[in-house]
Chain A
Amino acid sequence: MTPIVRISNLDKYFGRLHVLKNVSAEVQPQEVVCLIGRSGSGKSTLLRCINFLEEPSAGTIEVDGLAVPAGVRGKAHNQMVHNIRIRTGMVFQEFNLFPHLSVIENIVEAPVTVKKLPKEQAIEIGEKFLSKVGLTHKRDEYPNRLSGGQKQRVAIARALTMEPKVMLFDEPTSALDPELTGEVLDVMKKLAAEGTTMLVVTHEMGFAREVCSRVLYMEEGELIEEGPPETMFTTPVDARTRQFLDRVL
C-alpha cells in the first residue's frame, strides 16, 4: 500500500538552527498518527513542512504519490507544491478563520476560487461538513460571534470541504479553554472513526492514547521512537521517550 504521506530524510534549518534532523516518516491511508514531544522539539515544523508552509532545507515530501524534493525553486516546483496543498487539509492552533467572511463563506472560499467548483456545489459540500461538525445553525454567523471551540470546528469543516487526502492538525486544542477542548476532540474522533487519514501534533495524551493508530515521539528535531499507543505509553523503549511520558502522563 502506498502511503498518503511519506517524509524522507527531511532536514530543516532556521538560519543556523538545525530544527529537523534527517526525519523520515510515513502515514498510511486511514491511519491516525499523533506527533508528540516537548515544545520546540520540531513537531509543528515537521507538520508545516508537509504542505510547504515551511520550505524544507533537504529531503523529500511525498503526498498521495506526488514527490517534491526540497531546495528547488521555479514555476514547476510551485505547481507541485500547489498540488500537494490541495491534497492536504490543515487545522491551525489559532483557527485562522477569515474574519471578514461568514462561516459558510469561509468554507466555500477555497473550493470556489481554487478548485473552481460552482458555488452551489461548493455550498452543498460545505453544508455537509458543517453539519458533520455540528454547526449548521451557525452557517451565516461571522467568526467573531463564535466560541473558540466553534471556530476550530468551522476551521475543520473548511479544510474538509476541499476533500483532502490527509488532514494535518497543528495543536488544534492548545488555544482553547479547557472546557472547550472536548467538542473539538469529539469531532476529530468522529473523523478518525470514519477513516479520515490524519496527522496530529498534540499535547492531548488522552486523545493520542484513545484515537491514534500510531504515535511518533520527537525530541530536538529527531524522531526518537514510534509505535502503537498501547506499547508507546506503557513500555517505551528509548529512555528519552520514557522520561517525557513520565512527566506528562
Chain B
Amino acid sequence: MAVTSTPPATSARPKSQAQLIYEQYQRSQRQFTLGVAASWGLLLVLLFFLFSGVQFSLGPLAIRTIRLDGEFMRTWLPDISRGIWQTIQISALSILFATLMALLAALGRLSRVAPIYALSTFYVSLIRGTPLYLQVIFFFLALPQLGIILPGLWAGVLALGLNYGAYMSEIFRAGILSVSKGQREAAIALGMTPGQTMRRIILPQALRFAIPPTGNEFIAMLKDSALVSATGFVQEIMWRAVHAGRANFRNLEALLIAAAFYWVMTLLFTGVQGQLERYMARGDR
C-alpha cells in the first residue's frame, strides 16, 4: 500500500502499512499484558480462597478450605511487622560489608602478587565450600567458645557479609574485566600508575557495571537474612514469626504472615531495582 503525498492534517488520512503492522503489534502486546495481569489476579484470589476457611458442598463434592486463626493473626501481625526494620537493617549492613569484601576479593583475584591472589581465592573457596547456614551458626555459637562474643546483629552481618562477598566477588571481577584494555593503556600511556589507573579509570566504570547485579544480591539477602533467626539473637521477621507461632501453636498463621512480608518486600525492591537498571542503562545511550 503506497502512501503518496497527501496534504497534512487531514483526519481521514489512510494509515500506512507500517503503522497498521505496528498497531497490530501493540494490540497483541496489550492483550498479553492484560492476560498476565488477570491471571495473576485469579491466582491471588485462589490463594486467598485456599486459606479462607470457607466450607460448602457442590453436589456430592464437599469443599473445605484451610481455616486460619484470625484472632491470632490480628494480635501478632503488629509484633511480626516490627521485624521488618531489623530485616532491612541487617540486609543493608550485610550487603555493604559484602560489597567491600567482594571488591577486595576481586582485586586480589586480579593481582599478580602470589600471596594476595592466594588469599583471595582461599577466602572465596572456603566460603563457597561451606553452607551459609553453618557459617551463620558458627559466628553465634562457635566464636563464643573462643571467648569472642559479638553482638547478635554484628555476628549476623559478619556471617552474611562474608558469605555474599565471596559470591559477589565474581560480579566485581566481571565488572573490572568488562572495562576495555584500551582504557588501561590510555591511562598508563598518560603516565598514571597502576593504582591511579585502577582507582580513577577502571573502578568507576566497573562499579557502574556492578550496581544492578548488587541490587539483585540485596533482594536475595533480604530472604537469606532469615537464617539469622536460627541463632535467636536478632529479632527480625523470621525470628518473631517462629517465636509467636511456637508459643501459641499457631505456626501456620505466623509463617504465612512472615511469608507475606518477605514477598511484598521482594516485590517492592524488585520494582526499585528495575527503575535503577533502566536509569543506569539510559546513561549508555
Contact = CB atoms under 8 A, between A and B. Distances in A.
A159 interface: yes
B188 A110 contact: no
Nearest to B193: A82
Contacts of A162: 190-191
Majority SS at the chain B contact face: helix
A12 interface: no
Nearest to A85: B191
Contact of B191 (A94, A98, A114): A114
B189 A113 contact: no
A60 interface: no
Contacts of B190: 85, 90, 109-110, 114, 158-159, 162
Interface in A18-57: 51, 53
Interface residues of B, number: 20
B23 interface: no
Contact of A99 (B189, B191, B196, B205): B205
Interface string A75-91: 00000001001101110
A88 B186 CA distance: 12
A100 interface: yes
A201 to B, nearest CB: 14
A100 B182 contact: no
Interface string B184-210: 011111111100100011001100100
- Assign chain A's interface to a size class: 20 to 34
B183 interface: yes
B99 to A, nearest CB: 19
Given A86-B191, A162-B191, A100 B205 contact: yes
B191 A110 contact: yes
Q: Which of A86, A96, A97, A110 is most buried by chain B, counting CB atoms within 10 A of its CB?
A: A96
Contact of B182 (A92, A113, A144): A92
Contacts of A99: 205
27 contacts: A51-B189, A53-B185, A82-B193, A85-B188, A85-B191, A88-B189, A89-B189, A90-B189, A92-B182, A92-B185, A96-B183, A97-B186, A98-B186, A99-B205, A100-B204, A100-B208, A109-B192, A109-B201, A110-B190, A110-B192, A114-B191, A114-B192, A114-B196, A144-B284, A144-B285, A159-B189, A162-B191
